[in-house]
Structure 1
């Protein structure tokens, strides 16, 4: 008997012999190989024969076994980086015809000219490819220009993600690519992710990039960090085309070309005040003009209000490498009552032991933060000890990487005290990952105490409110109003108690 379980149920059939069962199973396996993932193995064999390349059985095994098991739609060139570069050509060529894979990626692997040419063929012919990720692939200006031509040849391209980070495309290459993106009628409505970080965009020849960004588009993520591009020029284009959808903007280590003595361009202010979807802004390492720094105190005050706002949409805040020193204290104090932030990066601010103490106080009462990045803050062994003591009382923080730079300096000052603090921090974080049962019980007891205390404090105040007007003619306080207040206080306590049980049970 053969039983096959599938998404709609179980199918069973009786066959004459076990040999027949084995034959049917083998046939099903062959059919699955042709179907999933997209018949890659058969296509790969044909392409190898057509192009005259040797057929590598390990490629077939990897795709049919590992890729199929993981149900991945990403063809990662790194998985085959141990092969000769020429062996990568037929693997990539399959994507011209394959309908299974939607993503082609390569990271930290220098691609040969032949491999790049094959990638361009796929881009020019595939209607199924949606994501192209070529990070640190040794690409130069001519590749960007050829990529522009490939996109122009494919009116049916479905690319929504282009990641060309850490290459040498330069402004000329990016300008050519942007021109093609603008000319393609589908791109403005389909491209949602564009990463050009790590490419030198210092020149003035970026008019086509600005023109593309100025067109109404669907970009939700734009990363031009570490490119030396002009921040104020970029904002002028973003104001015209990216107000509706852009949610993540990374401007770190860019250049503000504003000249001293002139007002900040209106487009700069207009973009940040008019953007409708912006949820993440990264500007670390960007040298802002003195005119902008004059408003730093007001910016920090506004950040505090946003952090403390119960309805704040802010979930992640990075102040990395801002060198705020003691000015960071105002932010740290606000973290204690924060109800929205789950991740904070305060590394590179030189806040010292005083800042560590303020952070420790915040961590003792904060229950929302899950990740804190805090290296390069000149924290001594005592500051590390303060953090360790605070984490003993924090059961919700999950990720707080060891501050390597600060720890290395602290070890020189007091090795025993530093090692003890770091070990405690690691142990408490491990504890927070293991179970939440005791946390829920502790939180319930804590909240019970808060409710009881609050009710006990509230009731006398309610009694006092109205004072003599509630006292009867004979001076007795036993009247309907007092009885009603006592009843209401009891009901409030019961309702809050039940709600807390629900919150804790479901981890709300």
Structure 2
């Protein structure tokens, strides 16, 4: 029974006004309402209403508005076929019934509008929610005639166009398709985070807190969107729903460029299914495929993939790291890559730039892989780490296709018995590479011959520089001479030689590393020093090694040094003492057993260092006391910006009673580091830097040979220090700032006009017109600009002024007659002065805490090391316990001449000769006895005297007042310091012997000499 025209209009009006009541709250409008003849069978048609509301299609039946019922409904994404039959004026539709997992076919006849217009209404609604779906339409919908596809581009675009290519609209339509709730937080993250940072890669980890079905709706948005060009999933176990939506994305997407599925527990047949998906969409612009960390050993699947790879002409990177592939799988991939590289009659060939098979055991048949390496000249990254591949088979092929490699990773590979024969090939290969940036041979025993060929090739290559070379676990004692001879001329910027067990052969290698001009980063930690530390017979070698490390820190171009896991122990104080004047910007001394005493020395070095920016100190058994020392040091340090919290040491210290001290110290350390990172005024930092630079160059000012120059030097340092502690000099720069701001304001106005003009044009293209001019000047902008410019000018002036201070002071101190002291101490005293006991140390002197006869001592200067001298070992001397006992019983002792002298309790009279002698020393000598004892060697005098000799005289006193009278002639040997005998239980007296056998009778002369020595001791007192 047909409906009358009035009834049809009434029903149409009712549907338009009550669509939310009929279909649901989210369907508040209808795009199309038409009366149709609908049939799901070939010969039976029924009169129904065809309605497109939002992203759904509804088929309704009913004779009155009150009797309307929904007969069919489906999402626009469920469409699988749209066919216009012109002969019968029918529209054939097919859609997916997700409830029954079947395809529904229907025929539609419409007298109100042409079938092709009805089809265009469906496609226009689809474009409203998915504006980028055009190129993907034919991948999941069969459309006839093809004219509809060409007309699709002319369909109107949804307005207003929302962020991320209408992600909000696409997401709500996809949520309806998968029957999932719309999540506002997902839209907020995409529109605020992804759009703000211009992120085009969907990271599933960003939404790992959501259920799997919600994650699927997010991934599905990338099927038809040009905004999302990459998908990254790492460490998330994928279920079958994830896998299925990924396959759909590959079948339908026309913008996906990168697919990274790392450690996702992919099924073994994944390669088979993804190969089929790629075959269904060979125009997908994939550039990166990364399946690292998935067990994918499927021979048949890789055979199928080898037929697909040649069609991916945009592919640039392919990674199958740690995928458990066999040689046959790798052979299949290599065959496919070779066929894609050698395709004939093709407009574009495969140009792979990165290939990675690391972690797959490849021992036997790798001929196809080797052939591909020889053919692919576009390859820039080759990673065959931990494959156990015989690298001897690669050298000749790399000469053919690998000369433009940038990264070559061959760690954990193997070499053959005849590897020596390939040394010349290796030398020629690395001598011809033009873009080499990184080489990794770690844990590959290449042997001395291949190592020599590699290093000699690098040294002969003038086209590369600052190469990163990893030789961890490669070298041994036999390779040390090779490193010593060939490293010095290699263009290596970063070198790793950890865990090489070089031990006592490392000393000449360190000397070579110090002389390398290009080396800026060195990692020499690990087990390179274990044997030397544990064996006492290598103590002298260990001492020289520590000295060489110090010289490397001071004299080389090294900027970063890694000594982690070396377990250097007490000898670490040598390096820490040298850190005060080091030029290093990064130092890693983790796991070196330095303890709180090492932390104390490190704090002293940090108070002087002005270059170090990053420091790593974890696993060093530091407790609350050590952290407190470090926090006090950072209070004075203005350059260190990063010191990651030593988690292990802090956690261990938390278990002790002084937990609150640890928390306080760690918080203070973080506060000072934050201050150094955000500090705007650099006056204090620059002051410290100038003082440190002058101290480091003090040996050029000849202060070792003259008290006069030494006093001038310390006066200059004191003045600069006082000068820097005063407030910065204020220069009237307001006029300069005003002129700059006015000029910038003029330039800004011209720039604003051009910018607004471009904005107006861009808005006009999107249908938006600016009707009136609105003032958009920011009132606080000028003040902010003025403040910023003023701060920049002040910082610049401060830096320039301190640079001028340094250069001026340096030149004045270098010149002989540029500075003069007022008073009695004149320049003429330079000619009469003797060698002063002040020696310039390029490091902090060895600490009393670490002085021990079992560990190498570090008390010599760098200049002495260069001249071949070595520092004397200084025993630990306690100022109270080591003082000699007073000889109260030594009274009326006769000397050799028979004269009787009084003991300690009586004071001998001062003779006139002694007075005259001391007076002459006071008047003529300009050298203090304390300095003289310091210069004579560290074994003479206590550490307190040695350190006092290094202190400058107070500026207020006359230099001559510090020339003390010596207590004895210089030739007199100081008395031995008696040892304290331990408290032992009394022993029985010895058995009496005859007078002839008595030791007293035999050694009577020894007693006489001892008595004479005691007499001399009493005279000196």
Query: TM-score, with normalisation over the residues of structure 1?
Result: 0.67
| Deviations 1:21-65 (CA, angstroms, capped at 9, x unpaired) | xxxxxxxxxx99945322223212221122111222222111111
1:368 aligns with 2:518: yes
Cα drift, residue 414 of structure 1: 6.3
Q: Cα 1:136–1:115, aligned 2, differ >3 Å: closer, same or farther?
A: same
* 1:238 equivalent among 365, 372, 378: 372
1:249 aligns with 2:382: yes
Structure 1 distance, partners of 2:159, 2:413, is: 53
Structure 2 distance, partners of 1:408, 1:86, is: 56
Structure 2 distance, partners of 1:81, 1:249, is: 33
Structure 1 distance, partners of 2:372, 2:395, is: 11
* 2:450 equivalent among 285, 299, 303: 299
Structure 1 distance, partners of 2:601, 2:269, is: 53
Q: Cα 1:393–1:234, aligned 2, differ >3 Å: closer, same or farther?
A: farther
For 1:204, the equivalent position in structure 2 comes to: 328
Structure 2 distance, partners of 1:337, 1:418, is: 36
Cα drift, residue 300 of structure 1: 2.0
Q: Secondary structure at the match of 2:209?
A: coil
| Deviations 1:53-102 (CA, angstroms, capped at 9, x unpaired) | 12222221111111122112211111111222222101100000111121
Q: After alignment, is 222-231 or 288-297 more displaced? A: 288-297
Q: Secondary structure at the match of 1:372?
A: strand
Cα drift, residue 274 of structure 1: 0.9
Structure 2 distance, partners of 1:34, 1:388, is: 64
1:220 aligns with 2:347: no
Q: How does 1:331-410 map to 2 (within 5 A)?
A: 331=483, 334-338=486-490, 340-352=491-503, 354-355=505-506, 357-358=507-508, 360-362=510-512, 364-380=514-530, 386-387=548-549, 390-394=552-556, 397-398=559-560, 400-401=561-562, 403-404=564-565, 406=567
Q: Cα 1:323–1:155, aligned 2, differ >3 Å: closer, same or farther?
A: same
For 2:271, the equivalent position in structure 1 comes to: 144
Structure 1 distance, partners of 2:224, 2:602, is: 54
Q: How does 1:483-502 map to 2 (within 5 A)?
A: none
More helix by share: 1
Cα drift, residue 212 of structure 1: 1.6
Contact 1:378 1:406 in 2 (8 A): no
Q: How does 1:121-132 map to 2 (within 5 A)?
A: 121-132=248-259
Contact 1:191 1:218 in 2 (8 A): yes
Cα drift, residue 170 of structure 1: 1.3
For 1:491, the equivalent position in structure 2 comes to: none
Contact 1:141 1:173 in 2 (8 A): no
Larger CA Rg, structure 1 vs 2: 2
For 2:191, the equivalent position in structure 1 comes to: 64
Contiguous gaps of at least 5 residues in structure 2: 1-157, 342-349, 424-446, 534-541, 573-590, 615-638, 642-676, 701-1021
Structure 1 distance, partners of 2:354, 2:208, is: 29
Contact 1:333 1:358 in 2 (8 A): no
Q: Secondary structure at the match of 1:204?
A: helix
Structure 1 distance, partners of 2:546, 2:198, is: 44
Q: Secondary structure at the match of 1:162?
A: strand
Query: Superposition RMSD on alpha carbons, in Å?
Result: 4.0
Q: Cα 1:124–1:320, aligned 2, differ >3 Å: closer, same or farther?
A: farther
* 1:156 equivalent among 271, 274, 283: 283
Q: Secondary structure at the match of 2:396?
A: helix
Cα drift, residue 257 of structure 1: 6.6
Structure 1 distance, partners of 2:241, 2:497, is: 44
Cα drift, residue 323 of structure 1: 4.6
Contiguous gaps of at least 5 residues in structure 1: 1-30, 259-263, 450-508
Q: Secondary structure at the match of 2:232?
A: strand
Structure 2 distance, partners of 1:178, 1:373, is: 42
Q: Secondary structure at the match of 1:245?
A: coil
Q: Secondary structure at the match of 2:418?
A: helix
| Deviations 1:297-346 (CA, angstroms, capped at 9, x unpaired) | 332223322343461426222223325345155336644444x3333232
1:98 aligns with 2:225: yes
Structure 2 distance, partners of 1:133, 1:235, is: 23
Contact 2:388 2:413 in 1 (8 A): yes
Structure 2 distance, partners of 1:147, 1:333, is: 53
Q: Cα 1:313–1:180, aligned 2, differ >3 Å: closer, same or farther?
A: same
| Deviations 1:339-364 (CA, angstroms, capped at 9, x unpaired) | x3333232332223643x45644554
Q: Secondary structure at the match of 1:128?
A: coil
Query: TM-score, with normalisation over the residues of structure 2?
Result: 0.35
Q: How does 1:430-469 map to 2 (within 5 A)?
A: 430=614
Q: Cα 1:210–1:420, aligned 2, differ >3 Å: closer, same or farther?
A: farther
* 2:474 equivalent among 290, 302, 322: 322
